[in-house]
Amino acid sequence: MNDAQAQRFEKIWQTIREIPEGLVASYGQIAEIAGVPRGARQVGSALRHLPPGHGVPWYRVLQVSGTIAFEKGSDQFDEQSKRLLQEGVAILGGKVDMRKYRWQPDLDEFLWKPRGAWDDA
């Protein structure tokens, strides 16, 4: 991984860390907030490259439709579902209601947040 990719991944991971418990975001939404235009696939790549002990709540990131990206019945699908349910996020048919659970940071969050996800974005 080169330096530019490592910096991009770190911005993505930091943005995901900002998603509050009980809410979710789409891959594209994370890319946009992290300053990675049209970078939904890069968000997926960043999640695949999470280092051990990362502390990034990866399970809060879903497809834009609210669907869990893993195959239904897989260990990853079950783990993501379990973690979301523990945070009070309802899942019906492998899908989360994005109208209800989507993270929608407001302008105050962007302006008054401590240094972190939105630096250099």
Residue pointed to by tokens 């939105």:
118
Structural domain total, the chain: 1
Angle at 21 between CA 18 and CA 24, to 5 degrees: 75
Dihedral pair phi/psi, residue 28, rounded to 5°: -65, -40
DSSP per-residue string spanning 44-107: HHHHHTPPTT----GGGEE-TTSB-SSPTTSHHHHHHHHHHHHTT---BTTB--HHHHB----H
pLDDT tens digits for 108-119? 666 555 444 444
Kindly report the pTM of this predicted structure: 0.86
Burial class (CB in 10 A: 0-12, 13-18, 19+), 45: middle
Here the CATH number for the domain that contains residue 33 is: 1.10.10.10
The answer to the question of residue 119 being in a domain is no
The answer to the question of residue 7 being in a domain is yes
Instruction: For residue 99, give its domain range.
Output: 3-104
The answer to the question of residue 74 being in a domain is yes
The answer to the question of residue 116 being in a domain is no
The answer to the question of residue 72 being in a domain is yes
pLDDT tens digits for 9-53? 999 999 999 999 999 999 999 999 999 888 999 999 999 999 988
The answer to the question of residue 120 being in a domain is no
The answer to the question of residue 114 being in a domain is no
